[in-house]
């Protein structure tokens, strides 16, 4: 998967990859349902910044999450030859077999799916136990890969749970091992509750990288307690390659105790560019999108760099 993605995204081997999730994880937390036309505009603008992957929606029950009701329509739109985006992969989140079926029908390029390490969060998020979710996700992932799709599997609530508190690192590693045993090598750890701290991040990812030399790791941090960027840096130092973030810091899982936004994409890109990494991404364009989002939602959003500008 990785070489194909790198070739399509136009980045060099061993470079970090930015997975923009604001259109899904960001907008799902908003009370207001954003119009399809506005979403299309933002997706096109995000693609022009040079980010590598854009997650444009999730295949969930529209009655439960009306913000995602037009996900099929969005993928169908960008699947048309005249609307195809260049040098960016479009991803979608699926929770169950029906979601996978919908995604396959409308042209999803990369499927994201996961299992929570917290029984309570798993039940609230999917209505399934960890054991049931794991069995079903593995089967779904294999079906998607057999169809030639890119797949990323995740362990959610990997660093702690808003309901259960501390999550055993062995529990997280056991889920990662099950994924690896089933040939799933692109694995994300999601800090759904925002409980992660940098030394925990470094320790856990270092342990995972020892399990399989071909593993490709991703991270997804929420900024609930202000440690998102610090955790991203710890993940980078541990060898993580894929970084999930949301423009303006929008987002938050609605099925956790304290919902808070993601790392802001422009903040993350600013960090990496200060380290002379990913200078190909157009930071000023990201800042402009975040400013537009703040105007759209008529409030100050959690991101920092869209307000301060880059360090000169």
The pLDDT of residue 193 is 87
Q: Determine the 3-state secondary structure of 185 from DSSP.
A: coil
Residue of 106, 112, 161, 253 with catalytic role: 253
The pLDDT of residue 8 is 47
The pLDDT of residue 5 is 54
C-alpha distance from residue 174 to each of 115, 169, 216, 226 (Å): 12, 9, 17, 28
The pLDDT of residue 164 is 86
What one-character-per-residue DSSP string does the chain give? -HHHHHHHHT--TT--EEEE-IIIIIGGG-SS---HHHHHHHHHHHHHHT-SEEEEEEE--TTT-GGGTTHHHHHHHHHSGGGPPSS-EEEEEE-SHHHHHHHHHTT-SEEEEEEES-HHHHHHHHSS-HHHHHHHHHHHHHHHHHTT-EEEEEEETTT-BTTTB---HHHHHHHHHHHHHTT--EEEEEETTS---HHHHHHHHHHHHTT-TT-EEEEEEB-TTS-HHHHHHHHHHTT--EEEEBGGG----TTSSS---B-BHHHHHHHHHHTT--TTS-HHHHHHHHHHHHHHHTS--S-SHHHH----
The pLDDT of residue 239 is 95
Rounded to whole angstroms, the Cα distance separating 238 from 279 reads 21
243 with 270: CB under 8 angstroms? no
- Residues in the chain with pLDDT < 50? 1-2, 6, 8-14, 255-258
What CA dihedral angle connects 203, 277, 27 and 166, to 10 degrees? 10
- pLDDT tens column, 256-295: 444 567 999 999 999 999 999 999 999 999 999 999 999 9
The pLDDT of residue 252 is 60
Rounded to whole angstroms, the Cα distance separating 170 from 218 reads 18
Domains recognised in the chain with CATH numbers: 2-308 (3.20.20.70)
Active site residue 106: no
Length of the chain: 312
The pLDDT of residue 238 is 96
């Amino acid at each position: 998967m990785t070489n194909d993605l790198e070739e399509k995204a136009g980045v060099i081997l061993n470079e970090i990859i930015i997975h923009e999730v604001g259109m899904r994880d960001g907008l799902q937390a908003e009370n207001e349902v954003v119009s399809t036309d506005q979403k299309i505009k933002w997706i096109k603008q995000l693609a022009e910044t040079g980010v590598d992957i854009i997650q444009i929606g999730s295949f969930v029950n529209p009655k439960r999450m009306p913000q995602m009701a037009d996900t099929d329509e969005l993928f169908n739109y960008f699947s048309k030859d005249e609307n195809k985006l260049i040098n960016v992969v479009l991803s979608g989140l699926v929770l169950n077999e029906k979601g996978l079926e919908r995604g396959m029908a409308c042209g999803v390029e990369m499927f994201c799916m996961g299992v929570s390490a917290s029984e309570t969060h798993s039940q609230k998020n999917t209505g399934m136990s960890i054991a049931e979710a794991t069995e079903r996700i593995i089967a779904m992932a294999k079906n998607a890969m057999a169809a030639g799709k890119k797949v990323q599997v995740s362990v959610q609530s990997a660093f702690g749970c808003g309901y259960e508190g501390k999550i055993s690192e062995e529990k997280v590693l056991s889920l990662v091992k099950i994924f690896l045993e089933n040939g799933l090598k692109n694995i994300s750890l999601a800090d759904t509750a925002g409980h992660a701290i940098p030394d925990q991040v470094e320790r856990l990812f270092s342990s995972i990288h020892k399990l399989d030399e071909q593993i490709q790791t991703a991270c997804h941090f929420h900024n609930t307690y202000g440690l998102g960027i610090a955790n991203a840096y710890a993940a980078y130092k541990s060898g993580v390659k894929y970084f999930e973030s949301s423009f303006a810091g929008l987002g938050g899982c609605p099925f956790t105790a304290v919902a808070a936004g993601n790392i802001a994409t422009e903040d993350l890109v600013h960090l990496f560019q200060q380290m002379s990494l990913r200078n190909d991404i157009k930071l000023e364009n990201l800042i402009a999108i975040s400013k537009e989002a703040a105007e759209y939602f008529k409030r100050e959003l959690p991101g920092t760099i869209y307000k301060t500008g880059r360090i000169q």
